[in-house]
Amino acid sequence: MKVLTSAQMREIDRRAMAGAGVPAIPGSRLMANAAAAVVQVLERDFASALRGPLLVLCGRGNNGGDGLVVTRLLAARGVQAQAVLLGAPESLQGDAAEAWQALVAAAPQCAGVAEDSAAWSRWRSRLAGAALVLDAIFGTGLDAPPRGLAAAVIADANELATPAARIAVDLPSGLPADGEVAAPWPQWDWGSVFRAAATITFAAPKLGQLTPRGAAYCGRLYIMPIGTPLPLLADPALAVELTTAAAIRRLAAPRSPDSHKGSFGHVLIVGGSLGKSGAVAMAAEAALRSGAGLVTAAVPRSVQALVAAYRPEIMTEALAESSDGTLASSVASPDQFRALAAGKTVLALGPGLSTHPEAAAAARGLIAATPLPWVLDADGLNAFSQHRDALRAGAAGGIVTPHPGEMARLMNLSTAAVQMRRLPLALELARASGAVVVLKGYRTVIAAPSGRAWINPTGNPGMATGGSGDILTGVVAGLLAQFAGQDLGLLAAAAAYLHGLAGDFAAATLGPMPLCATDITAHLPAALRRIAAAPAEEPPAMVLDWTGAERAFPLSSSAS
């Protein structure tokens, strides 16, 4: 599913209305469809609240027009709905002006006006008593924080309305639609953003709704179709996507009856050190649970027995070690590595490696020498923190999986700066290194050197535990081994989705607080079954909870 910027959404709407390569759709029809979609969500998931008074806050643009049409549709259903237009009716233009006139003609008692703060003060008391407050003040066109009357209304709604009763139409007012790719994002006035319990957006999610901070203001996100022609939304030039189960379903397809272990690749995992043998062992097990045919863990000689005892299916190789029980730099010598890599499909490097200088030198040497596609994580990444120019993917390609702290060291930034610009920085590192970047965290970002990117919806706070990243390394390596030669970006996005979904299953079973990394591995089979059972195509309407994966929203014609 494509994720859009405000400019991309405007261009798609323009082309839809102009009939550019598709049947033309009048703007008034798109507005009517958007309002009908809002009503359908309200009637299905917020029906009890529709028995109480409902206040619709409307701006002067098309987003306000959506709110005016919603008010008219609800009034026709007997709902006690009241629209408050923030501005003079004569300032409305186009479809919004028509929506106002239609509301006044059909239900004049539902059309209110607040042209200034004094007029708004007469409406303010209704916020606390409203069963639902719909925010239709600003849409995707906002490029500066709200000011004046609009800012005061948003502040009052956030303060006075019951949190669960606040619902945004298309986008919470004050939230930048472009999120962290917008220049003023780090300095944005977050006190002027409407805090919604749910947001009903149209056609496709917007970038600002899927950032960690933006998602918190959107709450539950409904992605509803409004008749926008699908070819416009499937344009390959739209480079950012939300990973869905339907998009990666084929990776969990049934296997051929004549398959054998050699059909699904051989993962070589290099890492481990004294005191950190568990990291490489967990990564190896996750690769197996993700479907890899064979997995070999190559570790310092002193920890080989520990890793071999972890799970009998894991094969091991003993490597030369330093006096501190870490990898010796000699393991990257051409002769040693040639023998080690023989017959392997993918190299995973880093879990439990340590920051010992010899281990770091070995990591840099292995990445430079390997002919295999590779996955680099943990201390393997830290080995390049002062040598970023050496981090280059070869012809077979590579994937790096930093958490924000590791990303900060690679980019010579603070962790806070990384968190403010996750997508742009992931794309920057991908272009510079030639590797796919998996920037972990809430709403994991996957960026390819081509400029294509994915945002992952799965995962939960329970996964913030030691070893979770090692499990992801194993999942990425397992998928690369099975689907050698396929798009590394899509495989990395699929791995992040699978890893997060397994974590969601684990949290549902155990709760987030007691969740351990190995619980994620234990739930990989259930996650794979869920992905395999996904529909072949994305549902036309979808709900995205800010703490978990998507689900389909059943459509009907009841709101038309």
**pLDDT one-digit tens code per residue, 282-321:** 999 999 999 999 999 999 999 999 999 999 999 999 999 9
Distance CA 549, CA 543 (A): 9
Q: Which residues of the chain does CATH 3.40.50.10260 include?
A: 6-19+30-244
What are the CA-CA distances from residue 128 to residues 7, 133, 363 (Å)? 36, 9, 60
- Report pLDDT digits (tens) over 223-269: 999 999 999 999 999 999 999 999 999 999 999 999 999 999 999 99
Contact 298, 377 (CB under 8 A): no
So what's the pLDDT on residue 186? 75
- Distance, CA of 374 to chain centre: 24
CB contact at 8 A, 531 and 246: no
* Residue 558 pLDDT exceeds 60: no
Query: 72 φ, ψ to 5°?
Result: -65, -45
% of the chain beyond a pLDDT of 70: 98
Encode pLDDT of 101-118 as tens digits: 999 999 999 999 999 999
Residue 92 vs residues 82, 88, 136, 194: alpha-carbon distances, Å: 18, 8, 14, 22
pLDDT surpasses 80 at 78: yes
Percentage of the chain lying above the pLDDT 90 cut = 92
Measuring CA to CA, which residue among 528, 510, 19, 29 is closest to residue 248? Answer: 528
pLDDT 10s digits, 470-497: 999 999 999 999 999 999 999 999 999 9
pLDDT in tens, 265-286: 999 999 999 999 999 999 999 9
- As a residue count, the chain comes to 560
9-23 pLDDT tens trace: 999 999 999 998 899
Q: Please name the residue that has the structure tokens 């993700």.
A: 290
Q: How far apart are CA 401 and CA 451, in angstroms?
A: 17
Instruction: Name the CATH superfamily, with its identifier, for domain 247-536.
Output: Ribokinase (3.40.1190.20)
Q: What is the mean pLDDT of residues 367-393?
A: 96
Closest CA to 283 of 380, 422, 394, 398: 380
More confident residue, 340 or 560: 340
For the entire predicted model, the pTM comes to: 0.95
Residue 28 has pLDDT above 70, yes or no: yes
**Radius of gyration of the chain, Cα coordinates, nearest whole angstrom:** 26
What does DSSP assign to residue 96?
Answer: H
Q: Is 86 helix (H, G, I), strand (E, B) or coil?
A: coil
At 305 the three-state DSSP class reads helix
Structurally, what CATH architecture does the domain formed by 6-19+30-244 represent?
3-Layer(aba) Sandwich (3.40)
Residue 560: per-residue pLDDT: 37
547 pLDDT exceeds 70? no
Q: What are phi and psi of 401, to 5 degrees?
A: -130, 65
Show contacts of 24-31: CB within 8 Å, 24+ apart: 25/227, 25/228, 25/229, 27/62, 27/94, 27/95, 28/95, 28/98, 29/227, 30/226, 30/227, 30/228, 31/62, 31/65, 31/66, 31/69, 31/95, 31/99
Could you tell me whether strands 374-376 and 398-400 are parallel, antiparallel, or unpaired per DSSP bridges? Answer: parallel
The pLDDT confidence band at residue 184, using thresholds 50, 70 and 90, is: confident
What is the per-residue burial (b if ≥16 Cβ within 10 Å, else e) of 197-225? Answer: bbbbbbbbbbbbbbbebbbebbbbbbbbb
Question: What pLDDT does 559 receive?
Answer: 39
Q: What is the mean pLDDT of the chain?
A: 95
| pLDDT at residue 546 greater than cutoff 80 | no
Rounded alpha-carbon distances, angstroms, from residue 309 to 273, 280, 286, 297, 317: 15, 12, 16, 12, 13
- When pLDDT is cut at 50, 70 and 90, the band that residue 557 belongs to is low
- Please report which residue ranges of 238-303 form alpha helices under DSSP H: 245-248, 277-289
pLDDT the model gives residue 456? 96
Q: Where do you find CATH 3.40.1190.20 in the chain?
A: 247-536
What values do phi and psi take at 270, rounded to 5? -115, 125
